[in-house]
Amino acid sequence: MSGNPPFHNLTYYTFGTPNGLKPAIVLEELGLQYKVEKVDITKNTQKEQWFLDINPNGRIPALKDGDLRVFETGAIMLYLTDRYDKEGKLNYPQGSREYYEVLSWLMWQMGGLGPMQGQANHFRAMAGAYSEYGIKRYMDETARLFDVLESRLSHADWLAGEKYTLADIASYSWVRAGPVFLDMDIKKWPGIEKWVKRIGERPAVQKAQTIPEGTRSAEELSQMAKGMRDRIDGMKETKRDS
């Protein structure tokens, strides 16, 4: 990699997951022109060498801007706002109190909400064996993290400062999946419920939820996830009978 990337020479490598949604929302909110490359994680495409050359961690998503690569969702989101969000639509000026509040919530999502909810998804819907301990541990931790969000959103419209920012986009992308994959009742957190509705009504967010082409709708995902949970529950019954 060498030199500075040319403006608006963006290629986004993604799949229809909460992490894939996060930078897609940023791209759409900023009205950027970009190409999409679907990386089918159901076929392990993310482990192929051409993709490892872009993201050595072998996870989606990733971004290229000219010959510059950016991987990890927080880095991609910050890159896009640093370079292309000159009006500060989705962030605050670097060095400001609000900027570090955005950064704090962004890192909280990447280090807490995403990994813990991801583990809840695994044990509740994707594991190869029933684990009561794994399900309880990660479902409880996901609910605790929702409580942390509620502690802010019960008295504020947005997570950081007085406007919608990267902080909201990062956590929204995971929170919206809670009712779908984990059958969580979002009504238990009224501040979150209103916040999810506010964000979900944004045209850019609705567009991002269709990227890449062929991404399942919320209804289709809900039906698929129910079948996955039923499979896990069936293994519990089998374990009990044996």
CATH numbers and ranges of domains, the chain: 10-84 (3.40.30.10), 97-237 (1.20.1050.10)
State the pLDDT at residue 232: 87
Residue 223 carries which side chain, given as an amino acid letter?
Answer: Q
The secondary structure element, H or E, covering residue 13 is strand 10-14
| CB contact set of 1 (below 8 Å; sequence gap of 6+) | 67, 68, 69
Residue 165 phi, psi (nearest 5): -140, -175
Confidence of residue 6 (pLDDT cuts 50, 70, 90): low
Instruction: Write the DSSP symbol of residue 94.
Output: T
State the pLDDT at residue 98: 97
Is the model's pLDDT at 3 over the cut of 60? no
- The angle formed by the CA atoms of residues 201, 219 and 223, to the nearest 5 degrees, is 150
Percent of the chain clearing pLDDT 70 (strictly above)? 95
State the pLDDT at residue 90: 98
Residue range 49-72, pLDDT digits in tens: 999 999 999 999 999 999 999 999
Residue 70 phi, psi (nearest 5): -135, 130
* Whether the Cβ atoms of residue 169 and residue 22 lie closer than 8 Å to each other: yes
Mean pLDDT of 204-216: 92
Confidence of residue 73 (pLDDT cuts 50, 70, 90): very high
Structure token digits, residue 222? 């809900």
Token pair 């051409």: residue = 50
Confidence of residue 227 (pLDDT cuts 50, 70, 90): confident
What pTM does this model have? 0.93
Which stretch of 177-181, 187-191, 226-230 has the lowest confidence by average pLDDT? 226-230
